[in-house]
Chains A and B, each alone.
Chain A
């Protein structure tokens, strides 16, 4: 499949006024300076630019906490893809956030092996202890967002959760308050 963008039949989307941005803050490119160097090094691992797409998106999320539409345009331009193509990839993979989330993004596994060990109780505990109330909602103080995810591959250490990039195993409702104190 060719994802190359030919001709400039479309207007330059980066000039499109503050779409997806908070207020009128202009978009700051991610891949400048050291980030650009890191991306270039990454490109050396693959025979073409498209293969660096997932790693590049991870870099964006590492820097900004989420992948905005402007970021998709920036990545598309750097990797010679179209924004529509990049968006199609971003929406396929569940780990890329397409909108800002709480400072600490909590993912709880509730697939059957963990469910059999009480994962639903862990979710309940997290929702109430963080103040989020509902799955996917951000807590009033902006600290937490809690979602259910599919098997995290730590079934023997039920119930595993992830807090941003940190993987925490063997969580029980009793341990939740203690765990949350680490995340200010």
Chain B
């Protein structure tokens, strides 16, 4: 089976690449239907999930409307990349001017709601010194976690040993909650990503 795959004609691969790119173009040119609410049709905030922050306060994603958001997903028992994720978010924020920092929220949502209760979120928030504005550590129900992850393009999977395998991605949302960019560079601030954050903050909300 493997050898037959390696003999796949190049043309086939090229054709599929072309198809992929035309599909991508079709997706980016999707005409947004008139939104039924004030929310942009392509806003992540269309996910109407109820989340709970590290202080036990319930909120909806759309509470971040009007501010840009650096968002990601994690789980508190993660030992390796997740602490690095918080560091990277903080480093990215440090790359901004004080005026810019005032316009951006930092949002971390657990994809392990069965273990990550409010107490655990609070504990991480305190130990990592991210327990105050603009930081929010949050949890929601299992189904909503999967939906939010799907809109953010974040993948996660529970392994048999209780660890999660997951993509570590920092996602930038504009003031309307649209995904405008992402970086997978961890451990240091990504200059291109910081540039994108600055650009995003420089643009007015569409007000759609």
- Answer whether A and B are interacting partners: no
